[in-house]
Every structure is written in structure tokens, then in C-alpha cells.
Structure 1
Amino acid sequence: MSTAPPAEPPPIILVTPTGQKITGRLPGRRQTARAWLYDVGLVLWKSTGPEGTEPAEYRQWVPAAHVKPVDGTDYSVVPTQHLRPPAPPPQWAWKVERQQHRGRAPGLLVHVYDCPTAPPGGEELNLDEALTALDRSGARACTECDAAVALSYWINSRETPDTDFGA
């Protein structure tokens, strides 16, 4: 939930590379994967012509190590962007069915995870495990759920190297 920005951003102390401490404004802050960044605004003079100046705010995102709070200041009103957890990478999910054949070694049938012909509670596999299962003698991919079509790209690319790569 975001809050409306305050009428005047609260003060924050900016520590410059030379160690000076300058009071600026804090109109926003955001969390990144590596650190918190603070949007610090400093009101300085800006030239308006050969003899004129006016106040202007210069803003910069600054890492937390370079800012200090002003005692007694409420920062809960500062608009804050929290890091959103990354979405999980899209992955194919597969199931393996162990088939029994009379007098022969059991075969494996690899299904797309939600295939209606896959047995309930079948072993779940990731892509690498599904391809490894298909390498076994007597293993095949289900044609009812198009696992054979979906996996054929990886099967074919493992058997036939891409000759255009690096050419």
C-alpha cells in the first residue's frame, strides 16, 4: 500500500564523498536486489542568465550508506517502493509412468504434468530429469498429451548439434 507523498518531503542528511553533511529532502526511497536507495533532493542555486540565479532542486538516488536520518523525523510518510520477489522462472513439469511388460524390463512413459492419462501420484520431474528418463532403454514420451512434441526440441538438439552456432 502506498501513501500519498507529503506536502513537503522530510529532511535527510546527505554525507558527501568528502565527508560534508548537507541537509536535503527525501521524496522517495526504494529497495533493490542489492540495497536500499534514497531519492535525495538538494535545493541549490541555478543560473538563469548572465546575472540571475534562482533556487532549484537537484535530485539523485543515493545508497543508504550515504544518508543519515534527522533526529525526530517521521519517515513513514515517504513513498516507498519495496522489492517484489522475482517470479519463478517458467518451467515445464513432467511425470513419469513406470510400465510393466511381461518378462521384460519395465518401460518408462514421460507425460506432461497434467496429462489425463498420467497415473495419479506419479513421480514428478524437471526438464533435465525428463530428458534423462527418455535416454533409458524402452523409454518414450506420451503422444496423448504432446509430451513427445514438447520434448522433441531438446531431444533433437542434443542429438544434432547446432552447426550455425559460432559460425
Structure 2
Amino acid sequence: MTTSSAPEPVPVPVPIRVLLPGDQEVVAHLWSRRQAPDGWRYEVGLPAYRNGPGDSVEPAEYRVWVRAPEHVRPVGGVSYDDVPTEYLEQPTVVQQALGPRRPSGWVLAKTGGRGPGRGVVHAVDCEEAPAGAPVLTLDRALDAAQHPGTRLCSLCGAAAELDPVLKRFDHGFGGED
């Protein structure tokens, strides 16, 4: 048994005024619009000509994304409600409360002294992390942290993040403190 579905409606362009360089203005077709982090972009089809077969010239359309409202103006009496519009994904309440995520990984800053394992483990975005140091995975950061003479940075939170894993989350759950 096959089911037929209605074909997707083809967007019908609506007229919009496009401001061109040199203070020129033309009426073009508005095909779609997209919200961007720094404003809106409108996909417009500008009227043009192209060479056809032989010596013929045919009407054509040149499509381009332009900034709104800098490069477009509405045409009086035209509704733009049905223009396909793509909105930015809005952050959830949790994302707004937590803010942007930190980059993942850790780096080892070598300190002076003799012997292996002398250093400080930092989060990659820590102000004290050495520039250009290789990024460590969780397992490599834990291995480095277990060496005598290596400590975890408390400024960036590496200590708060890695200590519970090193101590197997025993702290506060009746285990050894």
C-alpha cells in the first residue's frame, strides 16, 4: 500500500525594494529570510538578462543574500507573513543560566625541579595554562595528576573537576576524606 503526500508548496516570491550601490533601487523578489547572529539576511532575486541560444537575450534572475534592513525596504501594501523564514535556535533556560560551555580538556604546565611529574594540571582555558601545550584527555590528565609533585589548579577549577574522579567520588559519601 502506498500513500501519497501533498507536495511541498513552492514558495511564491513577494516584491521587495532592494537598495543597490550608487543609490539605485530596484524591485526584486523576496524568496526567503534567515536570522543570523548579527542580524537578518534576505534572499532576493534581482532582475537581470542573460545570453540565450544564438544571439538571443532572455530575462533571468540573480539571487543573492543581502542584509536587512540595510539593503531592503518593504513595498507598501505587501504582506511578508508567508515568506519562508529561518530563525536562530533560541537558548534554553538552562543554557541561559549556565552560559557558554567551556572547552574540554586539560593541559600540564611543567614546573621547575627534578624528577617526573612536576607540574600543574590546568583546564585548557585557564589564564595560567601554558600557551601551545598539548591538550590532555581525561585519562591522560588523571594519569598526570597521580604523579607525586603534580598538583591540580584551583584557579580554573581543574581541582574541583578532577579530584572527585581521582578519589572515586568517595568524599562526602562515607568514604575516606
Residue 41 of structure 1: aligned partner: 45
**Which of 79, 84, 89 lines up with 1:84 in the alignment?**
89
Moved over 6 A (4+): none
Cα distance change on mapping 1:133 and 1:9 into 2, 3 Å: closer
2:16 maps to 1:12: yes
Count how many residue pairs are aligned between Structure 1 and Structure 2.
Answer: 106
Cα distance change on mapping 1:133 and 1:36 into 2, 3 Å: closer
Cα distance change on mapping 1:131 and 1:144 into 2, 3 Å: closer
Higher relative contact order structure (alpha carbons within 8 Å, sequence separation ≥ 6)? 1
Which amino acid in structure 1 is aligned with residue 72 of structure 2? Answer: V
Which amino acid in structure 1 is aligned with residue 89 of structure 2? Answer: R
Unmatched 5+ stretches in structure 2: 1-7, 105-153, 171-177
Between the aligned partners of 2:61 and 2:14, the Cα distance in structure 1 is 14
Residue 59 of structure 1: aligned partner: 63
Between the aligned partners of 1:54 and 1:32, the Cα distance in structure 2 is 34
Which amino acid in structure 2 is aligned with residue 48 of structure 1? Answer: G
Cα distance change on mapping 1:130 and 1:83 into 2, 3 Å: same
Following superposition, the deviation at residue 17 of structure 1 comes to 1.0
Secondary structure of 2:30's partner? strand
Quick check: 1:14–1:68 contact (8 Å CA) kept in 2?
Answer: yes
Following superposition, the deviation at residue 131 of structure 1 comes to 2.4
Following superposition, the deviation at residue 82 of structure 1 comes to 0.7
Following superposition, the deviation at residue 35 of structure 1 comes to 1.2
Between the aligned partners of 1:4 and 1:91, the Cα distance in structure 2 is 42
Q: 1:78-130 CA deviation, whole Å, 9 max, x = no partner?
A: 000111146752678xxxxxxxxxxxxxxxxxxxxxxxxxxxxxxxxx99235
Quick check: 1:5–1:77 contact (8 Å CA) kept in 2?
Answer: no
Between the aligned partners of 1:133 and 1:66, the Cα distance in structure 2 is 49
* TM-score of the superposed pair, with normalisation by structure 1: 0.53
**Which of 128, 142, 148 lines up with 2:156 in the alignment?**
128
Alignment of 1:144-159 (within 5 A): 144-145=168-169
Between the aligned partners of 1:58 and 1:68, the Cα distance in structure 2 is 18
Secondary structure of 2:21's partner? coil
